[in-house]
Structure formats: C-alpha cells, structure tokens
Amino acid sequence: MSLSDWLSEPTNWVFLVVGLGVAGSAFRVVTSKNVVHAALYLVATLGGTAVLFLLLSAEFVAWVLVLVYIGAVIVLFLFGIMITRAPIGYDASLDNNRRGIAAVVSGALFLLMSWAAIDFFGSEPLQGIGEGTSTELLGESILGRFVFPFEIVSFVLLAALIGGITVARKDATPAESEEGV
Amino acid sequence: MSDLLANFWILLALKLVAIGALVPVTALVIGYAELKISAHMQSRIGPYFAGGRWGWAQLIADGIKFFQKEDIIPEEADRQVFKWAPALVLLSTVALFVVIPFSPTLIVQDLDLGVFYVLAISSVSTIGVLMAGWSSANKYSLMGGLRAAGQLIAYELPLLLAVVGVIIQAGTMSLVGIVEAQASFEVFGTIAVPYVAVQFVGFLVFMTAALAELNRIPFDLPVAESELVMGFVTEYSGFRFLFFFLGEYANMFSMSAIASTLFLGGYHFPGLNAEIWGPVVLTVKILALAFLMIWFRWTFPRLREDQLQKFAWKWLIPVSLANIAVTGIFKVVM
C-alpha cells in the first residue's frame, strides 16, 4: 500500500489527526510543570485514545475508557491533588536529571512493542477490524472462557480495596472506645 | 427531499443544527417553568412584564443581557483552564441529546450501547466542574468544586447500578431497543406497562441519584448559596456563566428524558402511533419529571455533607445492588 493510497482513505486522516493529538498531549502530560495541567492533558490523551478505539469500531472499549478513566480515575487524581494541599503550580522537585535513562527505557520499550507487533502481524491486514465487536460476545467470553482471569482480577482489586481501607481507617483509642464513641 | 437526506454530510449538518437549537430551547422552557412554578409555590407572581404577557420573554432577555456583559476573568485565575471549563460542561450535556429517542426514527443516532454512552458522557462534566472550581483561584469555588466531585463520584455509582436492572430486563443497551421492549412488556393482561411497574426501586434510586448529579436541592451542596456564594460558578460572569446555566437546565431535560426512556416507556403510549405522537408523549413525560424536580426544590431542606455521603454509600448502593440481584433471579426463573 503506497502513501497516496493510504491518504485517500478519509478514516486514515482522522487517525492521523487524532493520533498526533494524542501523542502531543501525552508529551505535555510529562513535560507540564503544573500537576493539574498534566492531569488535564491526560484527559485529552485518554479522550483521543477513545476516539482511536471508535475508529476500530471497538465502541465498548472506547466508552469504558471514557467512563472509567476520564470519569473516575482522573476525577480521583484531581480530587486527590486538590484535597491534599499538594503543591499546585510550578514545582522544581517534579523535575530531575535522569532524562537519559528515561529516554533509553522508553525507547527500548517502544522498539520492543513495535518489533513484537511487526513480527507477529507482518504486513497482513488485520482480520475483523472495523466490523465491530458485539458487546454480547464480549460479555459471554468474559463470563465464559475468561471467567477465571476475570475473577482473579476482581479478587486482587477487592484485596487492594480492603487493604486501602485498613490503612486509612483510624481505630478508636481504648479511652474513646470506653466512652462508647 | 429524500435524496437530500441521503447525503451523509447534509444529514449530519441538519442533525447538528437540530441539537444546537434544541439545547437552548429546552433550557429556556425548563428555566422559565422553574421561575413560574417556584413563584406560585411561594404565592408570588414571578416574571410578569418581559414579553408582554406572563413574562414569557424573561429568560430570553436574561440571555441577551449575559451576552452583552464583560467577560471577566479573575487576575489570579488559571486563564486557559478557566475558559475551557464551561465548554466542557456544556459539551457533555449536548452530547447526551444525541441518543434521546423522540420516536422510533426521530433520533440522531441509536447506538447499540446507548445507555452506556449516556453514563460515560455524563461523567465527563465532573472534570469541567473540578476545572472551574480549581482555576477560579477562589476558596468558595474550590470548596464547591471538591464537594461537586465527591458528590458526583458517590452518586454516579447508584445511577449506573439502577440502570443495570433495566438492561437485564430489556436484554439490550440501545435506548430504542429498551422502549420497544417496554412496548411489548405485559404483566397484567394485554396493556403494555412501562418498566417503572416492576423496576420501581430502580426508578427511585435513579431519580435520587439524578437529582444529585444535577446538583439540585436537596443535593445542592456544591452551589449552596448560603454557604459557598455560588460554589464553582462564583467567579463566572457573562456568557461563560450562561454556559453553566444552559448546561444545568438542558441537563435537567436530558436526565428526565433518559429516565422517561428507561423507566416510563419513552415515546411509547398504548394506543398511540409512536411515529406521530412519540415526540409529544416523550415531552409530556419529560416535563412531568422536570416538574417533580422543581417541586422537590421547594419541599426538601438541603442535606449535610456527611448525610449526603452516607445516604449514597450506605443506602442507595446496597439497595440498587439488591435490585440487580432480584432482577437477575427473576430473569433466570421466569
């Protein structure tokens, strides 16, 4: 497939624009000097990723991304930043001089993932992309074939939740419990 | 005409114009209803002069006034975030109108995941509220934003869980599909009854959580006038304030529309042709629910923050979980 063929497809233009937007805002997430700005750029990144999933007709995954990540996780981030009096605004301690190592690690990770994808799929067009996944099918495979991994993940999450509550809760001192507080 | 409608781009433009017109109109109608109904509940007259009769043009005049005002941004504010916050809130409201079915065919786009889309999109407005509260550089705003976020997190869960009962019963997440399922749902003999008859608990939980999502009394702590001036909206003026105002009332309309569609049979009414009467039937149901919300405003006192959180986590969520379990059992047994 030549470049002009690729560009003649309108979907590819959308992919290009959204993909560059995602990459740009992801870059701003790590370079932003303001924690709140970084979190907001993360919203843009995740929103763009949801659009990319929509382009692949993976509607369910796209809306899960919006509901869980934008609607809950980022809200918790922002909530946490604002309620804990974390330094808002420019913070020099957010920066350090280990950029070289970070560049090597992320570059290696990118190469590894690209190599894995190219090695596995080659130039074969992917089957079933754009046909959409039925949510019914997704539900059946999660509660059928993948029920064990699903339950294990739920168990781990539950354990983490209980752990979090145990760490955060303040037990009454003996004096307080005697008073029946 | 049908040739014209067959063109994707022309149809898209038409749909965008229709939604763009519908959002302010619904906000005006419900806002005016709130002014007038509140007035009558308090033995006042309410808007009287604007427009010549009943003060019908009051809110249009208000809207024009807001557009003329200076766009004031506080000096300490984070300008970009401050500017984008109202847009994000309004965006999530407008996006909800996409899936509201006014008749089997009069809908912008019937998504397979309609209900899921609604819940996902409506959660985005929380980000806008937090942005507004934080960027205003005002303690009242920040308090309001934090209260709003805590409240929205707590009440989004029961809202989601209350809907699950309906999804289990209908076996689909498409909003048109859910209305059609109710049109053929018969418990007592031959007349189709809406899901509220069997999902009454779900309906109550949904409406309570919707009130909280809309920041309406008795859950209006984020904008509590007597404590926080106007919460996260305090620093906004001019057309940015108008965005929040429009968003609030248009959201009341869309939430009522979703509730009517999920629980009250949507555009369907026994004996009426849904293609012709659908929009009227749905509008009547929406206005009835909106009236209920306005009525609540002058009936219940505001909750305290800890009561609000306790109510969500200790009552609404367990009740809606029990509702899901019971619905699931009935679905399997029957």
The residue from A90, A121, A153 where one domain ends is A90
pLDDT for position B176:
84
Which of A84-93, B17-26, B253-262 has the lowest average pLDDT? A84-93
**CB of A77 less than 8 A from some CB of B:** no
CB contact under 8 A, A79 and B131: no
Q: Is the Cβ pair A63, B117 closer than 8 Å?
A: yes
Q: Does any domain span residue A81?
A: yes
For chain A, helix (H) and strand (E) counts, in that order, are 9, 0
Q: Are residues A1 and A68 in the same domain?
A: yes
How many angstroms from the chain centroid is the CA of residue A33?
A: 21
What's the pLDDT score for residue B333? 81
- Whose CA is closest to A78, among B158, B243, B237, B81? B81
Res. A177: pLDDT tops 70: no
Mean pLDDT of the residues in chain A = 81
Q: Which of B78, B163, B167, B173 to mutate to test the interface with A (most CBs of A within 10 A)?
A: B78
User: Given its phi and psi angles, is residue A172 left (phi above 0), alpha (psi -120 to 50 degrees) or beta?
Assistant: beta
| Last-in-domain residue among A90, A118, A143 | A90
Residue A154 lies in a domain: yes
Q: Would residue B8 count as lying in a domain?
A: no
The pLDDT value given to residue A181: 47
| Cβ within 8 Å of residue B123, ≥6 positions away | A66, A67, A70, A71, A72, A75, B92, B152, B156
Tokens describing residue B242? 């108008």
Comparing CB atoms, the residue among B113, B117, B126 nearest residue A75 is B126
In terms of domains, do A154 and A84 share one?
no
Q: Which two tokens stand for residue B141?
A: 């705003």
Residue A156 forms part of a structural domain: yes
Q: Any alpha helices (H) in chain B, and if so which ranges? A: 2-6, 8-41, 58-68, 79-96, 114-122, 125-135, 139-170, 175-183, 200-213, 225-228, 238-263, 274-297, 305-310, 317-333
Q: Using CA atoms, how far apart are residues A129 and A54, in angstroms rounded to an integer?
A: 11
pLDDT (0 to 100) of residue B181: 82
Q: Which of A90, A112, A144 is the last residue of a domain?
A: A90
pLDDT at A176: 65
pLDDT at A159: 94
* Three-state SS at A97: coil
Question: What is the tens place of the pLDDT at every residue in B185-202?
Answer: 776 666 777 777 788 888
Q: Are residues A83 and A8 in the same domain?
A: yes
Percent of all residues in chain B with a pLDDT value above 90, rounded to a whole number: 2
Average pLDDT, chain B: 83
Write the CA distances from A163 to A67, A151, A152, integer angstroms: 25, 18, 16
Residue A75 distance to chain B (closest CA, Å) = 6
At residue B296, the pLDDT reads 87
**Average pLDDT over every residue of A149-176:** 85
Tens of pLDDT along B75-122? 877 788 888 888 888 888 888 888 888 877 777 777 778 888 888 888
Compute the average pLDDT of residues A131-159. Answer: 83
Considering A95-99, A116-120, A121-125, B76-80, the range whose residues carry the highest mean pLDDT is: A116-120
Q: Would you say residue A14 has pLDDT above 90?
A: no
In a domain, B30, yes or no: no
Q: What is the model's pLDDT at position A128? A: 60
In whole angstroms, give the CA distance from residue B79 to residue B71. 12
Q: Best interface-test mutation with A: which of B127, B136, B138, B155 has the largest number of A CBs within 10 A?
A: B127
The answer to whether the CB atoms of A71 and B111 lie below 8 A apart is: no
Q: Which residue has the higher pLDDT, B106 or B255?
A: B255
Number of domains in chain A: 2
B134 touches chain A (CB under 8 A): yes
Has residue B217 been placed in a domain?
yes
> Is B20 a member of any domain?
no
Which segment, A26-40, B199-213, B260-274, is predicted with the most confidence on average? B199-213
pLDDT for residue B231 is more than 80: no
Mean pLDDT of A103-116: 92
* CB within 8 Å: A43 and B146: no
ipTM over 0.90: no
**Structural contact between residues A71 and B120, judged by C-beta atoms closer than 8 angstroms:** yes
Closest CA to B169 of B135, B201, B132: B201
Is A178 a domain residue?
no
**Overall domain count for chain B:** 1
If asked whether residues A86 and A143 sit together in one domain, one would say: no
Q: Which pLDDT does position A133 carry in this prediction?
A: 61
- Residues spanned by the domain of A138: 134-171
Residue numbers of A between 127 and 156 with CB closer than 8 Å to B: 134-135
Q: Which residue of A has its CA nearest to B120?
A: A67
Contact (CB<8Å) B81/A36: yes
Across the interface, whether the CB atoms of B131 and A40 are under 8 A apart is answered: yes
Under a CB-based contact definition with an 8 Å cutoff, are residues B327 and B165 in contact?
Answer: yes
In a domain, A62, yes or no: yes
Query: In one letter, which amino acid is B229?
Result: V
Structural domain range at position B82: 73-333
Residue A140 sits in the same domain as residue A62: no
pLDDT at residue B318 in the model = 92
Residues in A closer than 8 angstroms to B127, CB to CB, are 40, 43, 70-71, 74-75, 78
B46 in any annotated domain: no
pTM of the shown model: 0.81
Which pLDDT does position A173 carry in this prediction?
67
User: Does residue A161 sit within a domain?
Assistant: yes
For residue A79, tell me if it sits in a domain. Answer: yes
Shortest distance between the Cα of A18 and any Cα of chain B, in A, equals 18
Q: List pLDDT tens digits, range B45-74.
A: 888 888 778 888 888 888 888 888 888 888
